[in-house]
């Protein structure tokens, strides 16, 4: 399966997926491109170091639909079959979602539907939650919405700050995202032979 990953920043989840594909933990897959909407995203260099092609598609004042159209075209040019959002900080337009039906997934640092949107870890602490975690889900036109694929729980300690909680959730994100992608690739392979 050809995978395209969209990032806007650090790219640690992207690295987890790329490394799992390279090590064979995710078999029968290839990360064909990493696309960023920010030219200075730190993840771009990490992708290049791993030999993955990178493309920058900045918004440059265009409408969301026009910006997305260029990203869709970059993905389609490379026959991408699965799109992984990994810290991609933009809501996708309906045309993007429709171009890859059930083929776009995202990772979010909470147990959705709890705490959607920005600063989910901070939201969990502010709400006094004892339990939070991370969610891999299909992407639809709404923010942090769409069918849940996998979740992983993380306990919140009394003395947690956003930073300490984020770090513990991030560790879980890396393993749960790899597991979700591996499952999807296996399912796709099984369906080809059924």
State the residues that interact with ligand GRF by CB under 6 A.
7, 9-13, 43, 86-87, 107-109, 170, 173
Of 4 and 87, which has the nearer Cβ to ligand GRF?
A: 87
Nearer to ligand GRF, 77 or 131 (CB): 131
Identify the active-site residue in 67, 108, 137, 174. Answer: 108
Shortest distance, position 173 Cβ to ligand GRF, whole Å: 5
Q: Toward ligand GRF, which CB reaches closer, 43 or 146?
A: 43
Residue nearest ligand GRF, Cβ-based:
87
Could you confirm whether 174 is annotated as catalytic?
A: no
Could you tell me which residues are beta bridge partners of residue 150?
A: 136
Quick check: 1 and 21 in contact, CB under 8 A? no
Rounded CA-CA distance 145/135 in Å is 10
CA 63-76-78 angle, 5° bins: 130
**Shortest Å, Cβ 9 to ligand GRF:** 5
Number of Cβ atoms within 10 Å of the Cβ of 156: 20
Query: In this complex, which beta carbon is closest to ligand GRF, that of residue 77 or of residue 148?
Result: 148
* Residues whose CB is less than 8 angstroms from the CB of residue 171 and which lie 6 or more positions away in sequence, other chains included: none
DSSP percent split of the chain into helix, strand, coil, nearest 5: 40, 20, 40
Cβ 108 to ligand GRF shortest distance, Å: 5
Q: Tell me whether residue 68 or residue 173 sits nearer to ligand GRF (CB atom).
A: 173
How are strands ordered across the β-sheet holding 131-138? Answer: 54-56, 30-36, 2-7, 82-85, 104-108, 131-138, 148-155
Minimum CB–partner distance for residue 191 and ligand GRF (Å):
28
* Cα distance between the two ends of the chain: 17
| Shortest reach from residue 83's CB to ligand GRF, in Å | 14
Instruction: Catalogue the active-site residues.
Output: 108
């Amino acid at each position: 399966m050809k995978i395209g990953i969209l990032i806007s920043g650090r790219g640690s989840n992207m690295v987890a997926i790329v490394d799992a594909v390279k090590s064979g933990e995710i078999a029968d897959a290839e990360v064909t491109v990493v696309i960023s909407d920010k030219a200075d995203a730190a993840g771009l260099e990490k992708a290049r170091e791993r030999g993955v092609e990178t493309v920058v598609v900045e918004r440059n004042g265009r409408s969301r639909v026009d910006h997305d159209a260029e990203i869709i075209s970059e993905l389609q040019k490379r026959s991408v079959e699965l799109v992984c959002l990994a810290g991609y900080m933009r809501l996708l337009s309906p045309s993007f979602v429709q171009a890859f039906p059930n083929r776009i997934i995202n990772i979010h640092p909470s147990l959705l539907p709890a705490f959607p949107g920005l600063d989910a870890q901070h939201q969990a602490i502010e709400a006094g939650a004892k339990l939070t975690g991370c969610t891999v889900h299909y992407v639809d036109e709404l923010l942090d919405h769409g069918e849940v694929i996998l979740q992983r729980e993380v306990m919140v300690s009394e003395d947690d700050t956003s930073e300490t909680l984020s770090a513990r959730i991030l560790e879980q994100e890396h393993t749960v995202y790899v597991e979700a992608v591996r499952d999807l690739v296996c399912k796709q392979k099984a369906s080809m032979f059924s």
